[in-house]
Amino acid sequence: MKRFFILFVLIAFAGCQSPVVFSHHEEFDRAIWNRFHFIELDVPITDVGQLYDLSIDFTHNGDYPSDYIELNFTIFYASSGMRSRDYTFRLQDNNRRWTGEKNPQGFTSHLPIISGMQFPENGTHRIRIESKMTKFDLPGVVSLNFTIKKSK
């Protein structure tokens, strides 16, 4: 009976999580994001009827020089067309304290890019993420983790 209960709890917990469809982790050498280091990803989509949530987990350390991050996020659809937008995310509260989750690398902020997106067609879509900050070499950027999950 105890095994059944544990199995039930694990299945219930797993059912509450949105399944990850695609994930990419990018580490930055010497914790520096060069302005022209574009992150380009090929993302296969096989269910156009599904809604997706796209997000970035942005990890920075104490050398990060700003209270925000500016990004451009572009999707090039499989056969034609594109969608592009600039985003600005605050990384500090009004008291200049980092709002991200503290960890051994520094702070990780969850940045929601698009919620409930429906891709117009099946196929491999190209996604480009780029820094829009004015510094040529942006210090303090440890990593970026891009994720696509099925919407709940």
Q: For strand 101-103 and strand 106-117, is the pairing parallel, antiparallel, or unpaired?
A: antiparallel
Tokens 């156009």 found at: 48
The pLDDT assigned to 17 comes to 63
The 3-state secondary structure of the chain reads CHHHHHHHHHHHHHHHCCCEEEEEEEECHHHEEECCCCEEEEEEECCCCCCEEEEEEEEECCCCCCCEEEEEEEEECCCCCEEEEEEEEECECCCCCECCEEECCEEEEEEEEEEEECCCCCEEEEEEEEECCCCCEEECEEEEEEEEEECC
Kindly give the confidence (pLDDT) of every residue in the chain, 152 residues in length, as a single tens digit, with 9 standing for 90 and above: 444 334 343 444 444 567 999 999 999 999 999 999 999 999 999 999 999 999 999 999 999 999 999 999 999 999 989 999 999 999 999 999 999 999 999 999 999 999 999 999 999 999 999 999 999 999 999 999 999 999 98
Tokens 């994001």 found at: 33
Q: Look up the CATH number of domain 20-150.
A: 2.60.120.260
